[in-house]
Structure 1
């Protein structure tokens, strides 16, 4: 019975709101913003005690923004219950009931400051009775009944009261004094907008419930209660995890900080009134700085500067209270000083161009070797292993391209793969050739050890497979990333992370280098055609020394070097290890080919007793499936010549010892100076003569 007028009066208002929102949401949002600004101005006047006409000619000042009333749901339910009780029992015959309800039911709620029940004549509108109780505070002993003289005798309450609206002019009690109820909820009464009461010196909200008479005549009632909301806080910052639980959400986002460069920080200081404007600080965001006020601006000053900005009377809001962007890459800064290390791009491009040129040269060299692969100088050195060596060198050169730009995850992956895989391919190919020489050189039996390229590849493939599995597992399980480090000037730049994957692989490579050095040491006295074994040993020694020195440079001499210095050290390491290896292994061969001696045997090595058999077996040939008859004939001829020379030598020496008067025969064994097997007579040695001279 009492709910129908409320619902009936609410429908047109809700319909109007829906239509207004559908037609122009931007206009409604603008109006709401204006309402918030006007409400903030009222709050500022009250908090600054610049009340003007307030509390002089008027005792109340209402805001135009609603607040959440669900926190006062208990008080509202008590008011609805009391209104229902008074409506059922009647207001006219239960004068004492009004006092009991006001004092014991309504004012007893902790949130309620005052409660009143009015009995009004439904015919002439005269005030018959008023039960008004007000809480004076715990120190005053509880609620106190306000004298009825607060209202003029026989007259209805003044329309200036925020909690009262004449039911004759507004039957549904829907006036600008009251806010909309939550959607899908039917209240018996209406909540007022927040208002400041001069008598109470507090911010209040009132809940008013009309009590219709049983018929057309009789007494109609009016119940109202005041809720103290002074403890709520006006938080103008955005809602976040640090937002107080008692903050008024309607004012969120109404601060005047520059959202792009500063952030709003709510101040919950006890000395600052809860209801005050500018109760926040504007702090420079990460990556921004200000030379004014240490980058922390008082919200009250920002509000004043904003008003001057709107009035075009000052540019303080734009110049003083706006932070500036830090230098690129700075997370925190207090001035425009740089935080990132600068890259000297022309210098880096020059080094990269040299490395790319070296890659191109390795490809050209590979094609050159393939074209002349049948020449003895390349054939005895195993062309397949020479090609693998060049492939590994190309990978090592490509590392300079991987570490050229500002490093990220993808370039760090490329860095790890090019560095370690290139080293493994190059070093393993050289080591396999040297290991074959070592095995052949150390054979002490008459049986000749035969290690073909195919057999060496079978040993090389597992080593490369282990490296591939390790790098693949590393990439998938713990993908290499870039981290920021500082140089000696405190400037940051990115470098690939070094963790236990790098350390484990470094230990394995050091052990691998140690084994290679041991193999090279074992073949230090071995003779080979074109001095192949010794040059490869020098290359392996060089790789080990360069890598150890570069590690020492990075860890001890330049631990906090800048990006350009580190790039230069990487270039030096690549050139000293890779380019030197190519020069040692391929330089003499290319010189012999260009001078037209690529298909001639190394007579100097063969004069020291290095046969084609030893050289071809030790240094390696292309894998053989069928015996090479020409090779076998050459080996047999050499062995027969050696044996014949030794027999002749022993026979002549024996004859000269027993017949000292016999002179060497002209054109004999001891006078053939141009043959590689020519020797001097022992008797001639004793007399100091030359071969062929008469004794």
Structure 2
């Protein structure tokens, strides 16, 4: 209720100031009134009072105070005024004395109570009664002994004879609590605060004033008692409230709670630089201007006074600045901004680690170039997909591998800027999804080699690309679900860490989501290494299985080494070192994978050998439809029946030659007396038949007309000997 009354009072003062002639507006008027009040408070506190207490016994402040805590005294004064009005003031000196004394002793806030009897027509004093509390002066006790300052304590009541209240004369008009109703109709005058419209007062509260007689700050409540007739006796009742216990709080309303012992109207009058400092109230100083400290805000510092400035000095510097005497107010009492990223600081030392942008841009350019090269290689593989070197290696898996490598390269673009929430999400997705796509594609091809290599029967195991994709899809789906759930439920944030110099920079957070995914990837990588170890002796077209195994070994080795670098060798590395380590890891794992898997194939195509079988396949006589028991199988496509018939004829001829060879060998071994029959199988004198044992590594060949030595075991038979053996 008191704060509401104060706001209503300020509103009334506002309207009056706006309506006053020559007024510059309410805001400017209130600012001047508050500054004048602070100047008076400062003069009183420093005893630099000038004419005050020499020619002026009182000095009022044109600022309203909240009177809600004195409402009890005000109600008692109103009741006493009503009683005097009903009983009459004339010839009631005993009643006046009793009422004045009872008002004094009934409320601890009342310092003085007085009742006047005045002539209604001339306003001359007929009778007056004043009671006041006695002052007991005691020295304050300090830790080192008695302090020279004095402490005023209120004692019991005593009768008071006030100067300026003489019978037959009008009361002194300089009294702050008195105003002649004849000169000011309705009793209102600039001495009194406007009354709130929501409360019924019989009297008026004065503005706070300093009384030289008691050396204290007072607030008076005055009630005029109308006379029964025009020429009768009118009364005047006044109470002085001691407000010296209040405190001047000049800090902003938002800087602290509202307390009943603070003068709210003076809040916000501090002289701290709001942009760099904040006002901190110092309680216990009472009526004192500058009873606060200007403390540097978070993110600002000052080399003077450790960033804490005394409010009295700030007020003095502000006055000199207003009078154009000096500029110390802006030079000494303003704080400086901390270096970027510093929440608190004591100097201009940096708090954030610096980024070497040219260095990072160069690494990013290399990574982006690798992405462009990888995507170009996808188009190159698709364009030459029918060439044997790509065709037998499953072009669809080759393209999937390259797309995964391109995604892993994009991690360098995600961690390039100063990290935030979105860049951390992009980092996790590019790293783990790219690894999963690349590694799964390579592992599916190696796993197919492992399955076919372990088959011991003559039946050929045939795993198509479509079947492998059906195995690969669930693995990628699990990774997508995991990353999506991670992003929606607990996305990784950029947290600040410190390098070895104590400088802060942002790094993506690591929590149980990362650890769980890392454990799964390690297990998946271990299974891949086991598969690669199982096919270490397997033979495949263009040696692809072995190259893929090397790539998988390299991925495992590089990632393990980089984890060790981050945790043990460079645990407090700066942002540029971490970016370099990420670049090295990407290049050693991704670029080496691309080089091992695609380098030999591209070289063969550029040399014009892409459609030629390698030496190992040519030595074994591998055809287009038969590829070492399913190792290096081609994608499923429409069968060429004519080609298969020709191949079958070729195989049948080879088998017939082998059977004929076995018959001749057995005839020679068991019937050496036989000689070649004229006109028989060996009928030319100079013709030699060169045969090879079926146990050789290569296919037998039946050649007539010339001598050739092929394989490990050969038999050269003349026509005469052959004829004699068959005979």
TM-score above 0.5, yes or no = yes
Alignment partner of 1:486 is 2:498: yes
Residue 240 of structure 1 aligns with which residue?
254
Residue 622 of structure 1 aligns with which residue?
635
**1:660 deviation in Å?**
9.5
Q: Give the structure-2-normalised TM-score.
A: 0.86
Residue 419 of structure 1 aligns with which residue?
431
For 2:712 and 2:135, the matched residues in 1 are separated by 133
Alignment partner of 1:570 is 2:582: yes
Alignment deviations for residues 82-140 of structure 1 (CA, whole Å, 9 cap, x no partner)? 22222222222433222232222454112222111111111332212212111236976
**1:143 deviation in Å?**
2.2
- Distance change >3 Å, CA 329–CA 173, structure 1 → 2: same
For 1:22 and 1:595, the matched residues in 2 are separated by 102
Residue 325 of structure 1 aligns with which residue?
337
**1:184 deviation in Å?**
3.4
CA contact (8 A) 1:231 1:274 kept: yes
For 1:23 and 1:340, the matched residues in 2 are separated by 59
CA contact (8 A) 2:125 2:170 kept: yes
**1:469 deviation in Å?**
0.9
Alignment partner of 1:450 is 2:462: yes
Match of 1:542 among 554, 568, 580: 554
Residue 362 of structure 2 aligns with which residue?
350
Higher relative contact order (CA 8 A, sep 6+): 1
Alignment partner of 1:402 is 2:434: no
CA contact (8 A) 2:619 2:698 kept: no
Match of 2:88 among 82, 87, 90: 90
**How many residues align structurally?**
670
Alignment deviations for residues 459-482 of structure 1 (CA, whole Å, 9 cap, x no partner)? 111111111111111111112211
- Distance change >3 Å, CA 311–CA 642, structure 1 → 2: farther
**1:598 deviation in Å?**
0.8
- Distance change >3 Å, CA 652–CA 175, structure 1 → 2: farther
For 2:21 and 2:411, the matched residues in 1 are separated by 63
Indicate the structure (1 or 2) with the bigger Cα radius of gyration. 2
**1:603 deviation in Å?**
3.2
CA contact (8 A) 2:691 2:715 kept: no
Alignment partner of 1:265 is 2:263: no
**1:17 deviation in Å?**
1.5
**1:350 deviation in Å?**
0.6
CA contact (8 A) 1:529 1:610 kept: no
CA contact (8 A) 1:482 1:496 kept: yes
**1:656 deviation in Å?**
7.5
CA contact (8 A) 1:653 1:681 kept: no
Residue 231 of structure 1 aligns with which residue?
245
Alignment partner of 1:298 is 2:310: yes
Match of 1:553 among 562, 565, 573: 565
**1:294 deviation in Å?**
1.2
For 1:520 and 1:95, the matched residues in 2 are separated by 119
Matches within 5 A, 1:654-693: 666-670=688-692, 678-681=710-713
Match of 1:512 among 507, 524, 527: 524
Residue 33 of structure 2 aligns with which residue?
35
2:111 alignment partner, SS class? strand
**1:631 deviation in Å?**
7.0
For 2:358 and 2:165, the matched residues in 1 are separated by 90
For 1:252 and 1:641, the matched residues in 2 are separated by 112
Residue 477 of structure 2 aligns with which residue?
465
With 87-96 and 167-176 compared, the bigger mean Cα shift is at 87-96
Match of 1:596 among 590, 605, 608: 608
Alignment deviations for residues 63-98 of structure 1 (CA, whole Å, 9 cap, x no partner)? 111122223222222222222222222222433222
For 1:95 and 1:630, the matched residues in 2 are separated by 143
Match of 1:114 among 88, 112, 115: 112
For 1:565 and 1:667, the matched residues in 2 are separated by 73
**1:657 deviation in Å?**
6.7
Matches within 5 A, 1:71-150: 71-136=69-134, 141-147=155-161
Residue 142 of structure 2 aligns with which residue?
none
Match of 1:157 among 171, 183, 197: 171
Alignment partner of 1:501 is 2:499: no
**1:526 deviation in Å?**
0.9
Match of 1:250 among 258, 265, 269: 265
Alignment deviations for residues 503-561 of structure 1 (CA, whole Å, 9 cap, x no partner)? 11111111111111111111111111011111111111111111111111111111111
Q: Give the structure-1-normalised TM-score.
A: 0.90
- Aligned CA RMSD, in angstroms, stands at 3.1
- Distance change >3 Å, CA 401–CA 105, structure 1 → 2: same
* Gap runs ≥5 in structure 1: 1-9, 685-695
For 2:132 and 2:649, the matched residues in 1 are separated by 132
CA contact (8 A) 2:127 2:167 kept: no
**1:168 deviation in Å?**
1.4
- Distance change >3 Å, CA 92–CA 680, structure 1 → 2: same
**1:265 deviation in Å?**
0.9
- Distance change >3 Å, CA 24–CA 383, structure 1 → 2: farther
For 2:23 and 2:362, the matched residues in 1 are separated by 60
